[in-house]
Each structure stands twice: as structure tokens, then as C-alpha cells.
Amino acid sequence: MIERLLKYLDASTCNFLAADTISKALDANGFERLNPADAWQLRPGDRRYVVKNSSAVFAFIVGSKDPAETGFRIISAHSDSPCFKIKPNAEIYGDGGVVTLNVEKYGGGILYTWFDRPLSISGRVMLRGKDALHPETRLIDMKRPVAFIPHLAIHFNRAVNEGNKLSVQKDMKPVMGYFTPEQIEEQKANGGIVKMTVAAELGIKPEDILEYELCLYPLEPSGLAGVNNEYFQSARIDDLSVAFAALEALLQQAGTAADATRVMAIFDNEETGSGTKQGAHSPVLRSMLERLCACAGGDAQSFFRAVDRSFMISADDAHAWHPNYNEKYDPTNHAVMGGGPVIKINANCKYMTDADGSAVMKSLCQQAGVKCQYFVNHSDVAGGSTLGNILTAQMDLRGVDMGNAIWAMHSARETAAVEDHIAAVKLFATFFS
């Protein structure tokens, strides 16, 4: 199981590749992709999925009973992670023919963890299609070190270890290489080194590229760590590890019949507030659930009856207690590595968890035979929010916010516990059973 997770993390180098990897796994396990523009006809036991904007995936197994009578069992997660996005007209030319890239920070990453690492490029490229309204989408992952961000030497900043305020615009420009004047003129004539490199990778001409959404990612492969291999380390553990756990659980249960329709919702753009058509602030999940009710022959009230009988696990990783920073954590409600799934609670409703949702989660963990624990913020520290409370603004769902405890959240390389991932899969499979 952990080997599959590590392969998934390495393949999912951006939101688009994460969605594509999930889609391929669904295809291989008997799920059929639906087009939202088509009229849907569904029967109990059908395995289907929908992709939104090439970066969000919504998969479901139709239950044997009307959703109005059984509700939906939903696990939500997200496909995106903090990174650097390459701007249009990205090339910046410097002395000695050095070409750096103009980039924009996506999400709230820990900037200094990106220095001096081999970086590659992945994302999607839009090409001319059959007409202006339907460009062709091509995914790309260069899978080789094409850039890096060199740190300033300590000799020029003796106070670097005493605090190092960074500017994305100034300090975080990746270097792509150095070139002769003739090579630079050729690049400028063909739209820049980014378009030329992408075009060569895809076997097309630079002028065929209408637009791109490309990000930089750390090239180091994921792997195990700890004296007993009790940890795994990778980029993008938040939130791809629990997204993959949801996928594993759904596939495990795909061959078993169930009364309720089981739903896996992998949104995009959680790291930037979810305010997109493929994000949790959009009606994309609600619209799909309404269609599922309609396909079951439901009337105008069926959707509302189904929502009232539904339960959602909003799955997004949690902060693990750090042995070097005990003072940052709540003294009685902090999550530890290997302690099992984490129930996330906030008095100011930054999470959707309430006593009802927490009780359901504890019961599910007991049924699955796994441990569970709490995360509550230190009372003097503001916390973040996640998908759960955003989705409850769309639908009045019962549910719980949970995740697995990890270290270095939003670093270029995060750490989680092997045991916790296995426990999450067991929990999700129990929920879907």
C-alpha cells in the first residue's frame, strides 16, 4: 500500500497530474467517465466519475437504494499544493546570458525550503483545437531538472540564520540556464525558453501553444525515513496522501454492494480559498448530487431529503506535534505521528466538526479498529480552515473535519507516518462499506 502511495505522489506533480493519475486508476477499476454536458442515466452499482477543469475529480458508486432514503457517504479532499506558477512572458535575461523565470507563489508555501533543489516543470498546455471555444488540452511533466533557485551565499548575508525575509519577486526567481546571444535571440523569436522547452517536450511547434498553466516542483522522489521506515517523505503530502487514501478505500469497496451512494470528491484550489468553478466554494458537488437524485427518479424534495441523511468526511492533513516546538501546541489536544486519524476542532467554526460529527468519527474508528486523536489549536494561535465549512455553506451536511498528522506542512518536503496512512485507508473503507 505504501509503495502505491509513493508512486502516486511522484506521479502527481501538480493538480492536473494528480487528477489525471486518479482518473487512470478509476478507469483501470471499471469506472466510466461521464460528460456533464450529457444526459445521465444511472443504475444501482454503476461506477462513474466526472472531471472538472482537468484538475478536480468526483467519483461515485450508485447505491442500491434511493439517495432520498439513504443519503450520500462523501469523502472530500483536494488536489492542489503550494508551489510556484510560471507567469506568461516569464523569461528575465541577465548578465552572462543567464535566464531566470518570473514566477508567482501559489498558496502559502514555506519559501526557503525551495532553495538549491532540482526543480522540474509540470502542468497543462492549451493548443489550437477544433474551434476557438474548444482548445486542446495537453498535460506535461518534464521529469528532469530544468531549473533551480540558488540561495545567496552566507558571505553576502551573515545574518541569514537569524531570520531571512524573502521576496518572491526578487529572491525566488528560478534559473533555467545560460545561453549565447544567438540562442537568446532565437528564444525571443519563438516565444521564450519556456515555450520552446515545452514544445520540444510535446513534439509540437512553439506557435501552436495558445496558453499554459505550469508550475515548478521539487524533483526529489518520495521515500521512507526513520530508523524503522516508520515515516514517508515527499512533496505534496498535504493533501494528496489523504486523497489517495480516499481513492484506495473507494476502489477496495467498489466490488461490494451498499444501500447508500458513495462519493469521492477531490476539489482543486483549496490552497487559495476554493473560489473557482472546480473549488469547494462552487456548486460543482451540489450539482452532481442533485443529478444523482434526479437519476434515481427523485422529485423536487429528494435532494434535500438526501442531504439530511448524508455524512461527509472532509479530509485534509493536520499538524503533528513537533518535538522542538512544544510551546506551539495545545497542551492536551495535539496530534502525534502514529496516533491515527485526527479529528480537527475549532470553537470559532473554522472546521465543520461538532460533537455529532466527532462522535460519528470516533465510532467509525472503533469499527475500523484504528486509533484516533484530536487537534485543537493553541488558544493564542489562529487556525486555518478547510473544505468542510466551505461545503456546508453550499449544503447543510453533517460531517467532520479530519486528516493525518504531518510535519512541515507546506514545505517543499513534508513528512507523515506510514501507520497513519494505513489507518486512514481502513477508516475510509469502513465508512464506504
Q: How confident is the model at residue 231 (pLDDT cuts 50, 70, 90)?
A: very high
Which pLDDT score, from 0 to 100, does residue 37 have? 95
Mean pLDDT (the chain, rounded): 96
Does residue 53 belong to any structural domain of this protein? yes
Q: Quick one: 307 and 409 in the same domain?
A: yes
**Three-state helix/strand/coil letters over 275-337:** CCCCCCCCCHHHHHHHHHHHHCCCCCCHHHHHHHCCEEEEECCEEECCCCCHHHCCCCCCECC
pLDDT(386) > 90: no
Which pLDDT score, from 0 to 100, does residue 164 have? 85
pTM higher than the cut 0.85:
yes
Which residue's entry shows cell 432514503?
69
Quick one: which of 231, 175, 247, 195 has its CA closest to 429?
A: 247
How much of the chain, in percent, has pLDDT values that exceed 70?
A: 100
Q: How confident is the model at residue 368 (pLDDT cuts 50, 70, 90)?
A: very high
Which residue's entry shows cell 456548486?
283
261, 70 Cβ separation under 8 angstroms: yes
Q: How far apart are alpha carbons 386 and 377 in whole angstroms?
A: 14
User: Which CATH number fits the domain that encloses residue 19?
Assistant: 3.40.630.10
Q: Quick one: 65 and 88 in the same domain?
A: no
Q: Quick one: 276 and 378 in the same domain?
A: yes
- Average pLDDT over every residue of 158-182: 94
Q: Quick one: 283 and 141 in the same domain?
A: no
User: Which CATH number fits the domain that encloses residue 119?
Assistant: 2.30.250.10
Model confidence over 288-344: pLDDT tens digits? 999 999 999 999 899 999 999 999 999 999 999 999 999 999 999 999 999 999 999
pLDDT(194) > 90: yes
Answer with the one of 191, 218, 245 that is the final residue of a domain.
218
Does residue 227 belong to any structural domain of this protein? no
Answer with the one of 159, 185, 218 that is the final residue of a domain.
218
Does residue 230 belong to any structural domain of this protein? no
Q: Quick one: 254 and 349 in the same domain?
A: yes
Q: How confident is the model at residue 385 (pLDDT cuts 50, 70, 90)?
A: confident
pLDDT(380) > 90: no
pLDDT(383) > 80: no
Looking at the 3D structure of the chain, how many domains does it have?
2
- Average pLDDT over every residue of 247-254: 97
Lowest mean pLDDT among 118-127, 225-234, 390-399: 390-399
pLDDT(221) > 90: yes
* Domain with 158 in it: 83-218
Does residue 249 belong to any structural domain of this protein? yes
Q: Quick one: 252 and 374 in the same domain?
A: yes
Q: Quick one: 394 and 248 in the same domain?
A: yes
Which pLDDT score, from 0 to 100, does residue 130 have? 87
pLDDT(420) > 80: yes
pLDDT(278) > 90: yes
Q: How confident is the model at residue 206 (pLDDT cuts 50, 70, 90)?
A: very high
Which pLDDT score, from 0 to 100, does residue 422 have? 98
Which pLDDT score, from 0 to 100, does residue 142 have? 97
Does residue 225 belong to any structural domain of this protein? no
- Average pLDDT over every residue of 357-371: 98
Model confidence over 101-136: pLDDT tens digits? 999 999 999 999 999 999 999 999 999 988 999 999
Does residue 213 belong to any structural domain of this protein? yes
Q: Quick one: 308 and 414 in the same domain?
A: yes
Does residue 228 belong to any structural domain of this protein? no
Q: Quick one: 311 and 420 in the same domain?
A: yes
- Average pLDDT over every residue of 214-218: 98
Which pLDDT score, from 0 to 100, does residue 279 have? 94
Q: Quick one: 109 and 201 in the same domain?
A: yes
| Residue 227 CB partners (closer than 8 Å, separation 6+) | none
Question: How distant, in Å, are the alpha carbons of 19, 36, 43, 182, 301 from that of 124?
Answer: 12, 21, 34, 29, 40
pLDDT(382) > 80: no
Model confidence over 7-29: pLDDT tens digits? 999 999 999 999 999 999 999 99
Does residue 127 belong to any structural domain of this protein? yes
Q: Quick one: 141 and 243 in the same domain?
A: no
pLDDT(214) > 80: yes
Q: Quick one: 326 and 266 in the same domain?
A: yes
